[in-house]
Structures are given as structure tokens and as C-alpha cells.
């Protein structure tokens, strides 16, 4: 599948997202902040980080913006609304909401890999309103909620 992408002027010179290995599920998104700046993300602070990319995800698919495990482990920095969704009809700049759950400030620089982008199929569906919950059918679990399947 090919996805048309446009790099905005403030992302000029940055690498396009690419798979790190042949079996990678996602491509790394990079921070398109000004070259001469670094953005400080204090503990507990969140910030919208531009990527400088506009894309045309095909109908029937979505972009999923997910955290990078290394940033989360080493710095406590993650994607706040993970996974973030990029709808197929969105044509604005992709940006990532980062949050610092760590104990120290995090310095973000231009070109830093900040999140992963996956492209996934989306099933179209409609609701079929039933008059009773019994019409939904019975399962072994039933209405058992949080913690009902055992374990911790």
C-alpha cells in the first residue's frame, strides 16, 4: 500500500517515517520543531509536538499513533492519548500529544523520534438496537466486568 504524504516547510530536511527493521509494525514519527530550539517537557507537562507531515490515509484504514517504548522506559515520556487516531478523511498536520510521566525534565530536539505510526484496517459497522439484553446472546463470561476473569 502506498500512502501519499506531504512534508510541510518546517519539516524540510527531516527523514520521512521508515520501518527500522524489515518486520517492524510501525514507522517512527519525528519532532518538526525549529532547529535552534529545544523544547523542555517538565514532569507532568504535556505538549502538542508537530511532525510536519500531512497524509492521505486510504478509506477503510486509520493511522494509529503509539508511544515509543524507549522513551517511555528511559524518560517516562509517552503519547498521552495512546493510541491516537488519524482518520482517513483528515488532511491536516499530524501532531503528537506527548506527556512526561518521568521524574526529570525531558529535552526534545528537532528530528527526535517521538512516536510510532501504524496503519490499520477499520471495520465499518452499524448498530442494531435490540429491545432486551437477552437478545444479545449468552456467553460464559456474561456481564462479568473488571477482574472477573481472575488473576491480577
- The larger pLDDT score, comparing residue 139 to residue 6, is at 6
Q: Which residue has the cell 509517552?
A: 78
Domain range summary for the chain, segments of one domain joined by +: 5-123
**CB within 8 Å of 121: residues ≥ 6 apart:** 60, 61
Overall size of the chain counted in residues: 152
Q: What are phi and psi of 124, to 5 degrees?
A: -80, 140
Mean pLDDT along residues 56-62: 98
Is pLDDT at 10 greater than 70 in this prediction? yes
Q: Which of 57, 63, 58, 37 is nearest to 49 (CA)?
A: 37
More confidently predicted of 115 and 144: 115
Q: How confident is the model at residue 151 (pLDDT cuts 50, 70, 90)?
A: low
For residues 117 and 27, what is the distance between their CA atoms, to the nearest angstrom?
5
3-class secondary structure, 56: coil
User: Which of the two residues, 143 and 107, has the higher pLDDT score?
Assistant: 107
Question: How do 46-55 and 5-7 pair as beta strands?
Answer: antiparallel
The 3-state DSSP composition of the chain as helix, strand, coil percent (nearest 5) reads 10, 35, 55
Distance CA 51, CA 96 (A): 8
**CATH superfamily placement of domain 5-123:** Deoxyuridine triphosphatase (dUTPase) (2.70.40.10)
Per DSSP, helices labelled H in 45-139 are: 69-75
The pTM of this model reads 0.88
The whole-angstrom separation of Cα 14 and Cα 150 is: 48
Question: What is the residue-wise DSSP string for 121-146?
Answer: E---------SSGGGG---SSTT--T
Amino acid at each position: 500500500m502506498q500512502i501519499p504524504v506531504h512534508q510541510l516547510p518546517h519539516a524540510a530536511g527531516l527523514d520521512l517515517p521508515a520501518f527500522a527493521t524489515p518486520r517492524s509494525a510501525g514507522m517512527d514519527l519525528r519532532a518538526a520543531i525549529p532547529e535552534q530550539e529545544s523544547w523542555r517537557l517538565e514532569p507532568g507537562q504535556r505538549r502538542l509536538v508537530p511532525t510536519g507531515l500531512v497524509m492521505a490515509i486510504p478509506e477503510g484504514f486509520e493511522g494509529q499513533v503509539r508511544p515509543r517504548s524507549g522513551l517511555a522506559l528511559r524518560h517516562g515520556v509517552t503519547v498521552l492519548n495512546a493510541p491516537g487516531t488519524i482518520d482517513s478523511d483528515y488532511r491536516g498536520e499530524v501532531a503528537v500529544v506527548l506527556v512526561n510521566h518521568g521524574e526529570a525534565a525531558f529535552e526534545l530536539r528537532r528530528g527526535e523520534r517521538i512516536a510510532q505510526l501504524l496503519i490499520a484496517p477499520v471495520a465499518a459497522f452499524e448498530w442494531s438496537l435490540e429491545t432486551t439484553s437477552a437478545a444479545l446472546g449468552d456467553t460464559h463470561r456474561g456481564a462479568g466486568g473488571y477482574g472477573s476473569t481472575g488473576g491480577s
